[in-house]
Chain A
């Protein structure tokens, strides 16, 4: 599996798109830090950028990489290699290289602005960590969608639709639910609904860590009770891990049964 991981890791790193992805984060992080002038604000702005961009790019890369590497996979399948090693190796190779581009692209500007001597270093680490986890989640979801769709265009469409639902539509739905069921106690439902969307979950984890949750009103108090505690933090981390593990397990399940 490590050989496959190595080959697809280098294959992805060599492509222009990862370099572009890295440069995007490098430039935008420098710009955000320059304009906000303040490390804490810079982190919030970067969070808003990365919570949209990482899922989008990971989804697109995941789908593209899956369809483009079909030849490679077919070649490997006739070699003495375990089937799940081929697929999991490719998944890890792509996820690692995307996470690396993101982490390197954001960490360099922050180091230049002296993150290690500031009090924000833990908040920044959390942002980096969730960003990397989101890459793994969305590459996994993209792979799962691609293996279920032989047709490239259809797979691509469904993957983009999934991103749109999670990044945009879901928030709208939550808002609608909150407004229409205003009279009922919704705190527990809100916590549950947040857990069902990895992007929202990451956002709230970071915001609560940043201590600006007071801006979010009454619901935030409930969130703080849940997510703010150590238990809540562990629960939300587990939930994020679940978002990695279940799609990848499902993907592996279908990969084992697929005909080539």
Chain B
């Protein structure tokens, strides 16, 4: 589905991605993990064409992300921070995005899907409110609906459950699993490892701009001989720290 080849990106002197190559198979839930500042969001934004990599290629289906834009019709993106034109109401926003996607998606179907999601996330009473007056959690729900309503083949969620209340969180996860059953590809970043354990088929662990581990959660647990994913990842990071410490001069004697 998504083929990432030797992506490099630096912002000024900060080298964020140092040659990341990975392929994301169709119909799988892939979790991108890593500490803060490891390049998760940058990698995701490269896939969307929001950030333009210094070198390397990303192929989605048959499209090279470079110089192409129509491939985004197959992507539903949930950004980390919901940024909307503040002077629109929620309904106006939905209508505008539907209008912009006209010709790329089935609008009647999207409208029906939106109606359903509005009641799932219980935001009927906010539909005619201006976006600037919404709380963080409600904005995140609007964000979630926007990313789900066009029924794309590829979902990209950047820390999707941040700011959602527990009920919405559960409903969101149910929805993701439903999408997975339909054969959709899902890429998500998160810091909540229980979510990864519940949903992910595969983990991509980024560290300092490189892929440090790639494989299924169960394999990782087995490999590190830990019962929970949290501990397995902690063990993985500890080994990395030891390796660095051992390379420091004066540590060996």
Contacts and interface: CB of A to CB of B under 8 A. Distances in A.
A41 interface: no
Interface stretch (A28-36, A66-74, A107-115): A66-74
Given A71-B84, A71-B86, A78 B100 contact: no
A79 B101 contact: yes
Interface stretch (B73-81, B162-170, B223-231): B73-81
A257 B67 CA distance: 11
B70 to A, nearest CB: 5
Interface string A68-102: 01111011111111110000000000000000000
Interface residues of B, number: 26
A3 interface: yes
A69 B50 CA distance: 16
Contacts of B104: 80
Nearest to B86: A71
A246 interface: no
Contact of B50 (A3, A7, A260): A260
B45 interface: yes
A75 B83 contact: yes
B85 A69 contact: yes
Contacts of B85: 11, 69, 71-72, 75
Contact of B48 (A3, A7, A69, A77): A77
A79 B83 contact: no
A79 B50 contact: no
A259 B75 contact: no
Contacts of B137: none
Given A257-B52, A260-B50, A260-B51, A79 B86 contact: no
Contact of B83 (A7, A70, A81, A83): A70
Nearest to B97: A79
A115 B253 CA distance: 95
Interface string A223-260: 00000000000000000000000000000000001111
Contact of A3 (B49, B73, B100): B100
A14 to B, nearest CB: 8
Contacts of B48: 77-78
A76 B100 contact: yes
Contacts of B101: 79-80
Given A74-B79, A77-B48, A259-B52, A82 B100 contact: no
Interface residues of A, number: 22
Contacts of A72: 84-85
B77 A78 contact: yes
Contact of A78 (B72, B84, B86, B87): B72
A181 B211 CA distance: 67
Interface in B91-129: 96-97, 99-101, 104
A104 to B, nearest CB: 23
Nearest to B71: A80
Contacts of A77: 48-50
B69 interface: yes
Contacts of B77: 78
Contact of B75 (A3, A74, A78): A78
Given A3-B100, A11-B85, A80 B72 contact: yes
Nearest to A79: B100
Interface in A1-34: 3, 7, 11, 14
A141 B84 CA distance: 26
Contacts of B79: 74, 78
Interface of B: 11, 45, 48-52, 69-73, 75, 77, 79, 83-87, 96-97, 99-101, 104
26 contacts: A3-B99, A7-B96, A14-B87, A71-B83, A71-B86, A72-B84, A72-B85, A74-B50, A74-B79, A74-B83, A75-B84, A77-B50, A78-B50, A78-B75, A79-B97, A80-B70, A80-B71, A80-B72, A80-B73, A80-B101, A81-B72, A82-B69, A257-B52, A259-B11, A259-B51, A260-B50
Given A76-B100, A78-B79, A80-B101, 5 more contacts: A75-B84, A78-B50, A78-B77, A80-B73, A259-B52
